[in-house]
A and B are shown apart, each in its own frame.
Chain A
C-alpha cells in the first residue's frame, strides 16, 4: 500500500499525457520541415564543435540499423532547438556513433529507436523500442542510452523546468532513480552504464533490464499487471491470455511485445518525471517479474558471441530490488533463514509459519520468500521436515 494514496489521484493524467504524446508522433502525409529557422548560419558560440559522440543503446542491445538522434538544446531550459544530429547503430551490440556534432549548448537530448535483443530469453524475436537520454556532452565522448537514462530523462527535464540547473537536476534524478529500485547510491550517471560491462552499476542496470524484459502483458496478464493496466490505462480491457486494446477512435489495435515494453518504460518514466519515485502498482509489476528469477541462475544473452557472464553479480541486484520492493530490506546475515509469506510487493508481509499458514499449503508445501545465503529466494518449504524442498536447489541454467 506504499504509494496507493497519492497514486490514484494523479496517475490517469500522466497516462493520458503519454498516450497523447505517442499519438502526436504519428506522421502526417505532408512534408514537414524542421530546421534551425535560419540560425544555422549564425555564428553562435559553440559549446561543442565537430565532436564524435559514441555509445551503446540498450534495452537489450539494439540491432544494427537502429537510429540514434541527438538534439541540440537552447541551454539551461533544455528545450530543443530542432537542430539534430543523427547516427546509426553499427552492430548488434548496440554500438552507435554520431560524427561531426556541433552544439551551442552542452546539454543534448538523445533518443535511440530500433529492434533489440532480449536479455533473458531463448526467444529470438526482436521487439522494438525507443529510449531517451539527456546528457552534458561537453566533457563526454561516450553517452549510453538505456532504460535508466530513459527513466531519468523526463525527471531531469521536469526539475529543470522548476528552475534547477542541469547538473543539480541530473544529480537529484540519478539519486532518485537509484533509490527507487533500492540500489542506494549505486547508479550514478546512468549514461555511463553498459549491460555488457561488469561494474556494480552495470550489474544493477542489467538486473533491471532482466526484470523489465520479463514483463510482457501482451502474452499473459497477471494480477500485478492487471492493477497497473486498470490504473494507468483504463482504456484497455483487462484480459488473460489475449487482450483487446482500442485506440481513441475505438478501433482495436494490435498489442505486441514492442507496444507492451514501450508502454511499461514510458509509464515508469512519466511517473518518475512527475514524482521522482515509483508507485505501488508499478513496483508490483516489476516485483512480480523479479520474484520469478529468485533462486534461478538466469542465462543472460550477452554480446553476439553469447558470452555467459561468469559471475552472476547482477542477481544480487535482483535480490536487492525484491527486498526493497517487499519492504524487507537486503537479505543480510541477520535475516538469514527468515521466511515471509509470498504475496504482492505492495502488501504487508508477515513472517511465514507452518502453524498460521496451513490454509495456503498444498500437501504440506508452501511457497515462501526466504533469505538464504545473502539472497532473497522463492522456495518451497516443507512443514513436515521443517526444511526447504531440496530439488529446488538445482540451478536452472538455460543452454
Chain B
C-alpha cells in the first residue's frame, strides 16, 4: 500500500526531480558508488514545503551523536526528500526536518517554521518518514535507551506508549512507515494525531502547535505516560467542537486526489478516553441527557476548574458537539431526528403515533402553552412522501415547499396524517410562549432539533437550524417560523445559545422547511 502510494507521487514529481538530480550530478561524479546509500521519504506534519531542510545526524547504538551528518532540501510540496548517494555507513540516525508545512486543516502554508525529530534504524530500510508520531516518541525513545534498553526495544515500547496515550490502540506499523497521505488504518492514526495537534490553533501561527508537541513529547519522555490532563481535556473538547477538524478530509481528498482513511474514529477514541466526559455508565446516561444542559455543563467545568487560560476561546454555541452516553458508550450528539437516535427519552415522556398512510412511526410530545393548556406535537420531522432514509441534502431531514406541506391551502391538515394538522401561527406562538424564555427552552428541548446541517464550514457556521412551516390561515400566503438569516433570505436557524425564540415571517412559497404536525383537538 505504501509503496503504491509512493510510486504515484513519484510519477507526479518526476519532471521536477529530474531537474534537481541533473543539477546535482556533477558533484556526485567524484564519489565512488561503494558504501553509498540513498535514503528518502516523506516529512510531514502536514507536508513540509519545498526548500525545507532535512538533516540526518548519525548516532551510535547508545544514541551518542558521531558528529557525522548529511542534509538536503525537500524537493516538492508533498514533503518528499531524497538524500542521494550519501556515504552513510552507520545504522542509527536522528532525522530532523525544519521548515514550513501545508496545514492539514486550512490548506495554507504555515507562517512559522517547525521542527520534527525522528529516531530511525536504517539497517533494513532506505525509506523513512519523518512525522508527528515519530516526533512524539523521540524523547521517550532517547530516555529508554539512556536507561539501558536497546534501540529496537526502546522504539517498540515508546511507540506503543504514544499510541496508548492517545487511546488509538496498538499498531504493528512502525511510525516511520506511516504516511498521512496513505490509506491504511495506521496512516489514519497518523493523520488523526496530526489533525488533533492542529485543532483550533492560530490559522497560520504554529506556536500553540509546537507547544503542544513539546508538552507531549517531554512529558511522555519521562515515564511513558502523558500526564497533562488539562491539555488532553482541551484537545478532547476541541475534537467535539470542531467536528473532527472535518475540513481536513475535504482538503486531503482534493490534495492527494484519493481516498482518505477514516481518521475521525481515532479522534473520537481519543476524545472519549479523556476523563472530561466522565465514565459512561447507567447513571450518567440519565444525568448527562439533555443536550443543552450538557453543553452548559461542559462549559462550566471547562472554565471553572480545568483550563482557565483557554476560557476566551470557548463559546457555548452550536458549533459545540457534545457527546451523549447511550448504551454505555459515548456517541456524538447531534439532536434526534429518528427514534433510534440518542435522545432525551429518559427524562421526557414521549408518546408515539403511526402514520397509517405509510406505516411510519413518530415520537410525539406534549408541549405546554403559555396559558397552561397542552398540545400534542410531533417530536420528529414528518417524512411522508420521502423514501425511507431520504433527506434534503442540506438540512439532512425531509423538507417541503409550501405547496407540498400545506397542500396548497386546501386544508389545515396539509401533508399531515389524518387527525393532525400543520401548526397555526397561534399554536406556534403558544408553545414558543410569547417571550417566556424558560418555557420556550423547555419546549424546544422536547421538540428536539428540527434540522441538521452537517457540513462544516470555516467558523460559526450553522450546525443546527430551525425552519418549520406554520399556517397563517390566510389561505393566500406562506408563513415560516425561524430566524431570518441575514446572509440568505429564508435560511433560518435555531441556536440553543440564543435568547430569542424564532419568529414567524412571511416566506417564499418555494422555500424549504420541515413539517411538525400538531394533533387535532
Question: Which A positions have Cβ atoms within 8 angstroms of B?
Answer: 27-36, 40, 50, 63-67, 72, 81, 83-86, 88, 90-92, 99-102, 115, 126, 128
Shortest beta-carbon distance from A88 to chain B in Å: 7
Q: List 8 A-B contacts (CB under 8 A).
A: A27-B73, A28-B23, A31-B82, A35-B68, A50-B64, A65-B214, A99-B65, A100-B65
A99, B85: Cα distance in complex, Å:
28
- Knowing A100-B62, A115-B207, the reply to whether A67 touches B68 (Cβ < 8 A) is no
A91, B84: Cα distance in complex, Å:
34
Cβ contacts under 8 Å, A102 to chain B: 64, 67
Contacts of B67-86 to chain A: CB distance below 8 A? 67-73, 75, 82-86
A65, B213: Cα distance in complex, Å:
9
Q: Which residue of chain A lies nearest to B73 when distances are taken between CB atoms in the complex?
A: A27
Contact residues on B (Cβ < 8 Å of other chain), bracket = 35 or more
Of B107-115, B227-235, B397-405, the one contacting chain A is B107-115
Flag if B115 contacts A35 (CB, 8 Å).
Answer: no
Cβ contacts under 8 Å, A101 to chain B: 65
Q: Which residue of chain A lies nearest to B63 when distances are taken between CB atoms in the complex?
A: A100
Q: Which residue of chain A lies nearest to B25 when distances are taken between CB atoms in the complex?
A: A30
- Knowing A67-B115, A86-B94, A100-B64, the reply to whether A34 touches B69 (Cβ < 8 A) is yes
- Interface residue B218 (Cβ < 8 Å from any Cβ of A): yes
A32, A72, A115, A128: residue with the most chain B Cβ atoms closer than 10 Å: A32
- Knowing A28-B73, A31-B24, the reply to whether A36 touches B68 (Cβ < 8 A) is yes
Flag if A36 contacts B211 (CB, 8 Å).
Answer: no
Flag if A64 contacts B210 (CB, 8 Å).
Answer: yes
A276, B271: Cα distance in complex, Å:
59
Shortest beta-carbon distance from B94 to chain A in Å: 7
Flag if B210 contacts A63 (CB, 8 Å).
Answer: yes
Q: Which listed residue, B57, B69, B211, touches A92 by the CB 8 Å rule?
A: B211
A67, B207: Cα distance in complex, Å:
15
Q: Which residue of chain B lies nearest to A92 when distances are taken between CB atoms in the complex?
A: B211
A32, B87: Cα distance in complex, Å:
11
Flag if A84 contacts B207 (CB, 8 Å).
Answer: no
Cβ contacts under 8 Å, A86 to chain B: 55, 57, 65, 69, 94, 96
- Interface residue B51 (Cβ < 8 Å from any Cβ of A): yes
A31, A86, A91: residue with the most chain B Cβ atoms closer than 10 Å: A31
Flag if B27 contacts A30 (CB, 8 Å).
Answer: yes
- Interface residue B66 (Cβ < 8 Å from any Cβ of A): yes
Q: Which residue of chain A lies nearest to B71 when distances are taken between CB atoms in the complex?
A: A32
- Interface residue B117 (Cβ < 8 Å from any Cβ of A): yes
- Interface residue B98 (Cβ < 8 Å from any Cβ of A): yes
Per-residue interface assignment for chain B, residues 444 to 479, with 1 indicating a CB less than 8 Å from any chain A CB and 0 otherwise: 000000000000000000000000000000000000
- Number of A-B residue pairs at CB separation under 8 A: 102
Cβ contacts under 8 Å, B57 to chain A: 84, 86
Q: Which listed residue, A31, A90, A99, A128, touches B113 by the CB 8 Å rule?
A: A128
Shortest beta-carbon distance from A90 to chain B in Å: 6
A214, B232: Cα distance in complex, Å:
37
Cβ contacts under 8 Å, A30 to chain B: 20, 23-24, 27, 72-73
A126, B211: Cα distance in complex, Å:
13
Q: Which residue of chain B lies nearest to A32 when distances are taken between CB atoms in the complex?
A: B71
Flag if B115 contacts A29 (CB, 8 Å).
Answer: no
Cβ contacts under 8 Å, B59 to chain A: 100
A99, B72: Cα distance in complex, Å:
24
Shortest beta-carbon distance from B116 to chain A in Å: 9
Flag if B218 contacts A90 (CB, 8 Å).
Answer: yes
Flag if A29 contacts B20 (CB, 8 Å).
Answer: yes
A126, B24: Cα distance in complex, Å:
36
- Interface residue B363 (Cβ < 8 Å from any Cβ of A): no
Q: Which residue of chain B lies nearest to A100 when distances are taken between CB atoms in the complex?
A: B64
Q: Which residue of chain B lies nearest to A87 when distances are taken between CB atoms in the complex?
A: B65
Q: Is the interface of B mostly helix, strand, loop or mixed?
A: strand
Q: Which listed residue, B27, B65, B85, B146, touches A85 by the CB 8 Å rule?
A: B65
Cβ contacts under 8 Å, A91 to chain B: 214, 218
Shortest beta-carbon distance from A258 to chain B in Å: 10
A64, B120: Cα distance in complex, Å:
22
Given contacts A84-B67, A101-B65, list 14 more A-B pairs with CB under 8 A.
Answer: A28-B73, A30-B24, A32-B70, A32-B71, A33-B70, A33-B86, A40-B58, A64-B214, A84-B69, A86-B55, A100-B65, A115-B207, A126-B207, A128-B113
Flag if B72 contacts A31 (CB, 8 Å).
Answer: yes
A92, B154: Cα distance in complex, Å:
27
Q: Which residue of chain B lies nearest to A72 when distances are taken between CB atoms in the complex?
A: B67
Flag if B114 contacts A29 (CB, 8 Å).
Answer: no
Q: Which residue of chain A lies nearest to B218 when distances are taken between CB atoms in the complex?
A: A90
Cβ contacts under 8 Å, A28 to chain B: 23, 73
- Knowing A30-B72, A31-B83, the reply to whether A85 touches B67 (Cβ < 8 A) is yes
Cβ contacts under 8 Å, A72 to chain B: 67
Q: Which listed residue, B27, B112, B115, B207, touches A88 by the CB 8 Å rule?
A: B115
- Interface residue B53 (Cβ < 8 Å from any Cβ of A): yes
Cβ contacts under 8 Å, A31 to chain B: 24, 70-72, 82-86
A85, B66: Cα distance in complex, Å:
8
Flag if A65 contacts B114 (CB, 8 Å).
Answer: yes
Shortest beta-carbon distance from B511 to chain A in Å: 46
A126, B202: Cα distance in complex, Å:
13
Q: Which listed residue, A65, A83, A128, touches B115 by the CB 8 Å rule?
A: A65
Cβ contacts under 8 Å, A92 to chain B: 211
Shortest beta-carbon distance from B293 to chain A in Å: 36
Cβ contacts under 8 Å, B58 to chain A: 40
Q: Which listed residue, B27, B75, B86, B87, touches A29 by the CB 8 Å rule?
A: B75
A31, B24: Cα distance in complex, Å:
8
Shortest beta-carbon distance from A100 to chain B in Å: 3
A265, B113: Cα distance in complex, Å:
21
A99, B221: Cα distance in complex, Å:
15
Per-residue interface assignment for chain B, residues 353 to 382, with 1 indicating a CB less than 8 Å from any chain A CB and 0 otherwise: 000000000000000000000000000000
Cβ contacts under 8 Å, A85 to chain B: 65, 67
Q: Which listed residue, A36, A88, A115, A126, touches B67 by the CB 8 Å rule?
A: A36
A50, B63: Cα distance in complex, Å:
10
Q: Which residue of chain B lies nearest to A49 when distances are taken between CB atoms in the complex?
A: B64
Shortest beta-carbon distance from A68 to chain B in Å: 11
Per-residue interface assignment for chain B, residues 208 to 228, with 1 indicating a CB less than 8 Å from any chain A CB and 0 otherwise: 001101100010000000000
Q: Which residue of chain A lies nearest to B113 when distances are taken between CB atoms in the complex?
A: A128
Flag if A63 contacts B207 (CB, 8 Å).
Answer: yes
A30, A64, A72: residue with the most chain B Cβ atoms closer than 10 Å: A30
Cβ contacts under 8 Å, B24 to chain A: 29-31
A33, B27: Cα distance in complex, Å:
11
Shortest beta-carbon distance from B21 to chain A in Å: 9
Q: Which residue of chain A lies nearest to B16 when distances are taken between CB atoms in the complex?
A: A29
A29, B24: Cα distance in complex, Å:
8
Contacts of B330-345 to chain A: CB distance below 8 A? none
Cβ contacts under 8 Å, B62 to chain A: 100
Flag if A29 contacts B69 (CB, 8 Å).
Answer: no
The 3 closest A-B pairs by CB, nearest first: A83-B67, A100-B64, A30-B24
Flag if B53 contacts A27 (CB, 8 Å).
Answer: yes
Cβ contacts under 8 Å, A115 to chain B: 112, 207
- Knowing A65-B114, A67-B98, A86-B57, the reply to whether A35 touches B72 (Cβ < 8 A) is no
Shortest beta-carbon distance from A288 to chain B in Å: 30
Flag if B71 contacts A29 (CB, 8 Å).
Answer: no
- Knowing A72-B67, A86-B57, the reply to whether A29 touches B84 (Cβ < 8 A) is no
Q: Which residue of chain B lies nearest to A51 when distances are taken between CB atoms in the complex?
A: B64
A126, B86: Cα distance in complex, Å:
36
Flag if B72 contacts A40 (CB, 8 Å).
Answer: no
A83, B64: Cα distance in complex, Å:
13
Shortest beta-carbon distance from A166 to chain B in Å: 20
Per-residue interface assignment for chain B, residues 16 to 32, with 1 indicating a CB less than 8 Å from any chain A CB and 0 otherwise: 00001001100100000
Flag if B20 contacts A33 (CB, 8 Å).
Answer: no
Shortest beta-carbon distance from A339 to chain B in Å: 45
Q: Which residue of chain B lies nearest to A64 when distances are taken between CB atoms in the complex?
A: B214
Q: Which residue of chain A lies nearest to B31 when distances are taken between CB atoms in the complex?
A: A33
Cβ contacts under 8 Å, B84 to chain A: 31
A189, B69: Cα distance in complex, Å:
30
